[in-house]
Amino acid sequence: DENGYVDIDWDTLGFGLTSTDYMYKMKCFKDEEFTEGKLIPYGNIELSPAACVLNYGQGLFEGMKAIRREDGKVVLFRPDENALRMRIGAERMCMPSPSVDPFIDAVKQTALANKRWIPPPGKGSLYIRPLLLGTGAILGVAPAPEYTFLIYASPVRNYFKEESAALNLYVEDQFDRASRGGAGGVKSITNYAPAMKPLAKAKNNGYSDVLYLDSATGKYIEEVSACNIFMVKDKIISTPPTKGTILPGVTRKSMIEIAREQGFKVEERQIAVEELLEADEAFCTGTAVVVVPVGSITYQAKRPESPLGYAELIGYSSSEGSDTNYEPDLEENEGGTREVNESDAGEYEYAIDGDEIANLEREADEFNDELLGYDSDTSDDELQIAKTRVKECNHKLHEIAQQLEKEAADGRLCAQNQSTNAPRSEETSRENSTQGSNEREGSTGGRGSRGVRGKRGRGSRGRGFQAPRGVGVFIADDGSPWFNQSGQATIVQHVSHTTQQKFQASTVDQAPH
């Protein structure tokens, strides 16, 4: 049309495939490097039936978005992070991968070549899908002799049909998404087809998506099919650590960085499913979903029957954005009182795995050795990957040390309580519970992973997460927050809106680094 847009009803756009004008293609042989590619008309590609990607699943993909701002500029969100993640995944899958600069250049070319397909501000985004495929023909189980790097794009709106509604998640305890030593920590194409069956079952039963547990114990949450998950308890943001079974999302990383910059405490640690069910807030992050609140979590066919706090979201969108200096005011959950009996006062346990510490220390040493072994011929990408891994390992070790200190403090508190035989009133019981177990553990049923074991008190809400009244927000495609009826912002809103502001700062014309 006269404004440079393709003739599409942007108001009815969903998250589906729409063929655009161009895609990007680049090839290289095994043990070589990707050098130069080109834009070609969007269309089908030709593959040998013996292509490694078809027979053995040797393939990776990435997901990112180009968004049109009000001033007409097109922006990307941290494409260098997607490039590095693909390089790390390619190393795991025995594949060559484009270095960061050629990756970003290819993404920019694809976005600009399909600019008329980028929705107007607030109407969606251009979803960009880079693919790295082992397209060479091979019969035996071995890396392909030839590789193809492809990028295509499609205009999209919201990933979830609920749009501004909160997600209803189902905890899957029969199927696993990933296992230790597998490829769950990279964006391999082989991770997604096995998840289709449990996801279809959940959707047929009215759920938005599936939340998976760890395959080793079945006790700890990992990630949702299409996104990472966070919980908030006592104004502390927590998310499961990426230890090889969870994809390190770019939006997840951005959320953590910005939350810490804003003064919030963020923990990357194991989270028992029972602890999540008693959270004050929960939300998911991802390229496709951006940031979306969780309204309910069903575990073992049980969910609270009370109305969802998020169900009271109303269609009020603030174009002004939020005050970045606002400190979220989380309301206490009703009916969440907890009691600690005398017989329970000395019972606690540590959730720190000695093997995990040893493995992290070993990984950090190995990556440090890699850095020491690099010379002037080492590429910037290889240095950046190694430095990032060392930083992540050391950060996790630091968090474990902090947890151990707190666990030791909890232990001293428990021992002190156990040696005290004086009777306690119900109010004193609640106070001790809040200062002890509630401070470290969100579960009200059964023993948690740390702190004093809590027993279910009167009025407790059952096994399931319930978003409390007065908290919850959805960030729209245009970056504006949706407030609930009470007009209160939350940690989700406070941090995710800042993420959106940083999103808008990176234009396609200037590759962000």
Q: Which two tokens stand for residue 33?
A: 């490097």
Catalytic: 187?
Answer: yes
Cα 174–Cα 178–Cα 182 angle in degrees, nearest 5: 145
Exposed e or buried b per residue across 217-229, where buried means at least 16 C-beta atoms within 10 angstroms of its C-beta: eebbbbbbbbbbb
The CA-CA-CA angle for residues 467, 471, 477, to 5°, reads 105
User: 244 vs 89, 173, 241, 359, CA distance in Å?
Assistant: 11, 19, 9, 12
Three-state DSSP class for residue 253: helix
Q: What Cα–Cα distance (Å) separates residue 159 from each residue in 100, 123, 225, 357?
A: 27, 13, 12, 37
DSSP code for 102: H
Structure tokens at 356: 């995990």
Q: How far is CA 235 from CA 266, 290, 484, in A?
A: 9, 21, 18
Contacts 24+ apart (CB under 8 A), 46-50: 47/135, 48/135, 48/136, 48/137, 49/137, 50/137, 50/138, 50/139
Structure tokens at 159: 């990933």
Residue 370 dihedral angles phi and psi, to the nearest 5°? -60, -45
Active-site choice (187, 233, 396, 455): 187
Rg (CA), the chain: 24
| 3-class SS of residue 286 | strand
Question: How far is the CA of 51 from the CAs of 86, 142, 191, 210, 401, in angstroms?
Answer: 20, 11, 19, 32, 47
Query: What sections of 25-130 are H helices per DSSP?
Result: 52-56, 79-92, 100-113
Nearest to 499 by CA among 328, 247, 239, 285: 285
Rounded Cα distance, 431 and 436, in Å? 8
Q: How many residues does the chain have?
A: 513
CA-CA distance, 173 to 366, in Å (whole number)? 35
| Distance (Å, whole) CA 303 – CA 317 | 30
- Number of Cβ within 10 Å of residue 215's Cβ equals 16
Q: Which residues make Cβ contacts (< 8 Å) with residue 359, sequence separation at least 6?
A: none
Catalytic residues: 187
